[in-house]
């Protein structure tokens, strides 16, 4: 019985060591993330056009977006993906409007 208790204690100690190492790694990762710039786009289908305009403005003003982490939900995820891959938003918005008109959405 005391042998089982010792084994449980050893297992518990090993688990704490592993968890502490994982926490340290996570904290280091968070520190690196904190030094990055982030732009987060919310969802909302029609807001895509506004978001595209915001990214276009930043590009035209010569903001360096190469180190920015883009994130978004729904339409914002589309904006984030296009911004991160340097898609020309003039082409993207024109294409989106054309598809909407062709499909009778508008």
Same domain, 64 and 27: no
Confidence of residue 13 (pLDDT cuts 50, 70, 90): confident
**Helix pair 47-60, 89-102: axis angle to 10 deg:** 160
Q: Are strands 37-41 and 68-72 parallel, antiparallel or unpaired?
A: parallel
Same domain, 13 and 41: no
Query: Does the pTM exceed 0.75?
Result: no
Residue 70's beta-bridge partner residues? 39
- Interval 35-72: pLDDT, tens: 679 999 999 888 989 999 999 999 999 999 998 999 99
| Placement of tokens 């100690």 in the chain | 13
Eight-class DSSP state of 5: H
> What DSSP string runs through 48-93?
HHHHHHHHHHHHHTT---TTEEEEESTHHHHHHHHHHTT--HHHHH
Same domain, 28 and 45: no
Structural domain boundaries enclosing 67: 37-102
Same domain, 46 and 90: yes
């Amino acid at each position: 019985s005391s042998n089982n208790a010792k084994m449980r204690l050893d297992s518990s100690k090993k688990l704490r060591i592993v968890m502490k190492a994982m926490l340290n790694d996570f904290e280091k990762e968070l520190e690196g993330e904190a030094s990055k710039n982030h732009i987060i786009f919310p969802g909302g289908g029609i807001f895509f056009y506004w978001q595209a305009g915001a990214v276009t403005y930043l590009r035209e003003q010569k903001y360096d977006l190469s180190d920015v982490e883009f994130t978004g939900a729904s339409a914002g995820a589309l904006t984030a993906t296009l911004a991160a891959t340097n898609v020309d938003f003039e082409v993207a918005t024109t294409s989106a409007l054309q598809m909407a008109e062709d499909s009778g959405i508008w």
